[in-house]
Amino acid sequence: MKVLTPPPLPVSRSLNRLGQAVSLARRRRRLTQQDLAERIGASANTVRRMESGFPGTALVHVARALQVFGELDKLDQLLDTPQDAIGLTLMDEQLPQRVRKPRKTPESGAF
């Protein structure tokens, strides 16, 4: 059996905040944990663990909860690659200094 190492503190804090947000969204909609569990196709225990910030909660359950709350589009915005400043900077560093047209060779069909 694979032993999971505990997540770093910033990750634990984020998971706890996410769990608190799920709990708050659920209660604002007057849903019990059992109601939410039925709507996402999971057990009430899974909802309890998700709301407590348990790191082993399957992402599919979080995504289904977001769908129930009408917030699934937030998941799509987590890593907005067109706005990824670090990724774009790394890509720009790999750009060539000059761009030259390729030479035409007899093998390429140019005579």
Query: At the fourth CATH level, which superfamily is domain 1-73?
Result: lambda repressor-like DNA-binding domains (1.10.260.40)
- Phi, psi of 92, rounded to the nearest 5 degrees: -65, -30
pLDDT value of position 108: 61
pLDDT value of position 53: 96
Helices (H), the chain: 9-28, 33-40, 44-51, 59-68, 73-76, 85-93
Which token pair is 30? 């007057």
pLDDT value of position 111: 53
80/92 Cα distance (integer angstroms): 17
> What residue has token string 């699934």?
72
Amino acid, single-letter form, for residue 105: T
pLDDT value of position 33: 98
Domain positions in the chain: 1-73
Per-residue pLDDT of 40-65, as tens digits, reads 999 999 999 999 999 999 999 999 99
pLDDT value of position 39: 97
User: Which residues of the chain fall below pLDDT 70?
Assistant: 1, 108-111
pLDDT value of position 107: 72
CA quadruple 26, 23, 28, 33: dihedral sign: positive
pTM, rounded to two decimals: 0.74
